Structure 1
Amino acid sequence: MTPVIQEEPTGCGIAACAALAGLDYDTARTRAAALGIHANDRTLWSQTSHVRALLAHLGIEVLEGEQPFIGWDALPGRALLAIKWRLIDGVPFWHWVVFVREAGESVVLDSKAALRHNVRRDFGRMKPKWFITIGPN
């Protein structure tokens, strides 16, 4: 799996879905728009309903609910992680990233365009709050 770089400052949810589906950002953005999902909608990174709807539309199975982050070893093989979690005027916001464990190696695919490396292994620097388990497909 390869990271997809977000083309909009607030497009991390769309980029994460694109990475999981093996699509480029523009294709995922077009499919999201057909569902009424747009990167400039603050609920894309303050609620889970939009990414869940886009993932379902893209044929990606997700498990119900969010699980609290306990540790990197406790994560499933694929997960959508909420990092950089914060409250703004009492509303939670976060940055979406994708956790992948393949062939014994764990990485985080981070869509932020300003990063030097979008495949991250600096687990101590990331502080996930919770995650959504991505199904086996």
Structure 2
Amino acid sequence: MEVVLQEETTGCGLASVATLVKRRYAEVKALANSLGIFAQDSRLYSDTRYVRRLLGVYGVRVSEKETPFASWPALPDRALLAIKYQIENGRPFWHWVVFVREGGAPAVLDPAKDLSSNRRTDFDAMQPKWFIEVYPPSSSSAGIAPRGEAPPL
């Protein structure tokens, strides 16, 4: 899986969705904007509903709840991770990244533009708070394309 870089400072959620659905950032951003989801909205990186809604439009199924991070080996083969987790003015914030295990090799696909490598294996440097499992695509969702309107938040 190839990482899609965020094109805005606060675009890690959109870039992580783009990575998972194998689309360009601009395409995912345009769809998100049409649904009222904007990278500048702090809720995108402080509330999981927006990323879940966008993934749902693309037909990507994810776990219903966030699972507390326990260890790297315990992660599923694909997951959204919350790293750089912090509380500001009583509100949680984090950086979205994608965890993948391909051919048995784990990696974190980090959309931040300022990294020397966006395929990260420096696991000790990252401290995930929780993850959302991303389920394998069904045969009917191969080629993932947006499907209709997403339900309201």
**Same fold (TM > 0.5):** yes
Map 1:78-117 to 2 at 5 A. Answer: 78-117=78-117
What is the SS of the residue equivalent to 2:50?
Answer: helix
Match of 2:43 in 1: 43
Measured against aligned partners, the alpha-carbon deviations of 1:34-93 in whole angstroms (never above 9, x if no partner) come to: 111000000000000000000001111111100000000000010000000000011000
Q: After superposing the two structures, state which structure 1 stretch, 26-35 or 44-53, moved more.
A: 26-35
Task: Give 5+ residue unaligned stretches, structure 2.
Answer: 138-153
Distance 1:61 1:110 in 2: 21
Length-normalised TM-score, structure 1: 0.99
Task: Give 5+ residue unaligned stretches, structure 1.
Answer: none
Distance 1:106 1:11 in 2: 23
What amino acid is the match of 2:35?
A: L
What amino acid is the match of 2:30?
A: T
Match of 2:21 in 1: 21
Q: Calculate the aligned-residue CA RMSD, in Å.
A: 0.5
Distance 2:24 2:106 in 1: 22
What is the SS of the residue equivalent to 1:32?
Answer: helix
What is the SS of the residue equivalent to 1:136?
Answer: coil
What amino acid is the match of 2:28?
A: A
Computing the radius of gyration from Cα coordinates, the structure with the larger value is 2
Distance 1:13 1:132 in 2: 13
Query: Identity percentage over the alignment?
Result: 52
What amino acid is the match of 1:95?
A: H
Distance 2:59 2:22 in 1: 11
What is the SS of the residue equivalent to 2:23?
Answer: coil
What is the SS of the residue equivalent to 1:131?
Answer: strand
What is the SS of the residue equivalent to 2:53?
Answer: helix
